[in-house]
């Protein structure tokens, strides 16, 4: 006993949300510290000097950085409850591959939708649609990316659901029309307490981004 768990995070961060979901899945008690990324705390700079980013999990004083690395760490340390990764090595590799795909693609293609100049909007939309099409295909008829149970890949992607309204506004598209399976999957994930209690409302995220990036 006497585990001290602190999470340095920023409430709209899709990466921080992954860690919050993982902690909730495992029923781990922790102290949440919100760090505004335009005014970084000394603690953040000390705990993540290399990247100076959230989320950082501080476990008994020792920092773990990078959201997917943190989620794996949580799974390995608190291994007696709610496994987040499958036990079979091949399935684990499959999960790591797809979570890595989400990391490599989803954040960037989403951001391009509002960062891009008018001339490049069509290309940005195309990349976005292709990326989510790949995910829709990978999901297929499965209830979750991991199969029957909610797991690592689901955690890596579901946090982006909070940005769907933002994507729809800037991409001038309907996520439900384009990716019905993904939207159905997201709603299924939202039935889990860990996800429902973590994901901020889509409108709130939209308003935050409008202010943060001066898009109004």
Partner 1 sequence: MAEEVKLFRNWAGPFALRVVWALQLKGVPYDTIYEDLSEKSSLLLHYNPIHKKVPVLVHNGKPLAESLVILEYIEETWKQTPLFPEDPYERSTARFWARFGDDQLMPSVFNVFIKQGKEQEEAIARAQGDLKYLEEELRGKKFFSGEKIGFLDLAFGWVANLVSVFEEIQGLTLIEHEKYPLLLAWIQNFIDAPIIKESWPPRDKLITKYRARIEFYSSKEAAKK
For position 133 contacting partner 1 by CB under 8 A, the verdict is no
Q: In angstroms, how far is CA 176 from the centroid of its own chain?
A: 19
Residue 201 sits at φ, ψ, to 5 deg, of -60, 140
Separation between Cα atoms, residue 111 and residue 49, nearest integer Å: 25
CA nearest neighbour of 20 among 62, 65, 60, 70: 70
Q: Is 20 in the site for partner 1 (CB under 8 A)?
A: no
Q: If binding is defined by CB under 8 A, does position 97 make contact with partner 1?
A: yes
Structure tokens at 123: 């290309």
Q: Please select the residue that binds partner 1; options are 26, 59, 163, 209, rule is CB under 8 A.
A: 59
Phi-psi group of 33: left, alpha or beta (phi > 0 → left; psi -120 to 50 → alpha; rest → beta): beta
# residues contacting partner 1 (CB under 8 A): 22
Angle at 13 between CA 80 and CA 177, to 5 degrees: 95
**By the rule CB under 8 A, 92 interacts with partner 1:** yes
Tell me the window of 61-69, 109-117, 146-154, 201-209 that interacts with partner 1 (CB under 8 A).
61-69
CA gap 162, 166 in Å, rounded: 8
Candidates 1-9, 14-22, 87-95, 195-203; binding stretch for partner 1 (CB under 8 A): 87-95
User: Which of 3, 34, 76, 193 touches partner 1 by CB under 8 A?
Assistant: 76
In the complex, the smallest distance separating the C-beta of residue 22 from partner 1, rounded to whole angstroms, is: 13
- Of 99 and 195, which CB lies nearer to partner 1 in the complex structure? 99
Residues making contact with partner 1 (CB under 8 A): 50, 59, 62, 64-66, 69-70, 72-73, 76-77, 89-90, 92-94, 96-97, 100-101, 134
């Amino acid at each position: 006993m006497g585990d001290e768990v602190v999470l340095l995070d920023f409430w709209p961060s899709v990466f921080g949300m992954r860690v919050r979901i993982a902690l909730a899945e495992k029923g781990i008690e922790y102290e949440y510290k919100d760090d505004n990324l335009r005014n970084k705390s000394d603690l953040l700079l000390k705990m993540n000097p290399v990247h100076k980013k959230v989320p950082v999990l501080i476990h008994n004083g020792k920092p773990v950085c990078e959201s997917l690395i943190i989620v794996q760490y949580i799974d390995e340390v608190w291994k007696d409850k709610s496994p987040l990764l499958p036990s079979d090595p091949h399935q684990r590799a499959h999960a790591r591959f797809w979570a890595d795909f989400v990391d490599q693609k989803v954040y960037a293609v989403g951001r391009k939708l509002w960062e891009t100049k008018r001339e490049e909007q069509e290309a940005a939309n195309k990349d976005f649609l292709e990326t989510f099409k790949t995910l829709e295909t990978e999901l297929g008829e499965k209830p979750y990316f991991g199969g029957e149970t909610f797991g690592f890949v689901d955690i890596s992607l579901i946090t982006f659901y909070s940005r769907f309204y933002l994507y729809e506004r800037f991409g001038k598209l309907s996520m439900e029309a384009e990716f019905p399976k993904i939207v159905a999957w997201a709603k299924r994930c939202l039935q889990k307490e860990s996800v429902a209690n973590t994901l901020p409302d889509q409108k709130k995220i939209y308003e935050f981004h409008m202010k943060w990036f001066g898009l109004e």
